[in-house]
Amino acid sequence: MNTLESSSVDLAPAKAIVARHGGGRDACIRILQNLQAAYGYLPDAALRYVVENTEISEGQIYGVATFYDQFRFTPVGKHMIRVCHGTACHVNGAGKISGALEDELGIGNHETTKDNLFTLETVACLGCCSLAPVKMIDDTVYGRLTPEQARKIIKDYRNNAATKSS
Ligand code: FES
């Protein structure tokens, strides 16, 4: 486990989550889901706190965390971009949308930009197939996208971020 990281992670949320769910082995998934909701990812130090303060073993917690796609071990950017690769989006050009975004952002799937502004993820159906191809940024859906529109939306977010910080 990463000792450097442990000094910079606030364990208060992990302590509250363990207190809320108890220390039984059957609480493992609920604890992981709550940790991810609190931190945005699963910090090593928080996982270690759970192992040291519950009946959940290191093998169990890492086994569950790596089995499910929903869990991640690295911090995410300020904005989460989800590109749908479900069937309807796939046949309507999701690959080109992802390609344009990877090119625009300079990152691949499941990666975060150096400025920590965006994380890019491909996902299964987002539930709005009539708008295919679709991407979501945080809670906002963008449908019937072209690669050019997908890029422009990113540029607009960047411009907004630059305006806010100036
Ligand atoms: S397949 Fe993309 S929203 Fe359903």
CA–CA gap between residue 131 and residue 115 (Å, rounded): 30
Q: Give the Å distance between the CA of 90 and the centre of ligand 1.
A: 8
User: What single-letter amino acid sits at 153?
Assistant: I
Sorted by where each begins, the domain ranges of the chain are 3-67, 79-165
36-90: per-residue pLDDT in tens?
999 989 999 999 999 999 999 999 999 999 999 889 898 889 999 999 999 999 9
User: What single-letter amino acid sits at 9?
Assistant: V
Kindly state the average pLDDT of the residues 145-162: 95
Please give the order of strands across the beta sheet that includes 118-123: 118-123, 79-84, 135-137, 140-142
Q: How confident is the model at residue 95 (pLDDT cuts 50, 70, 90)?
A: very high
pTM: 0.72
> What superfamily would CATH give domain 79-165?
Glutaredoxin (3.40.30.10)
CB-defined site of ligand 1, < 6 Å: 84, 86-89, 125-129, 132, 134
Q: Give the Å distance between the CA of 45 and the centre of ligand 1.
A: 36
The DSSP element (H or E) to which 119 belongs, if any, is strand 118-123
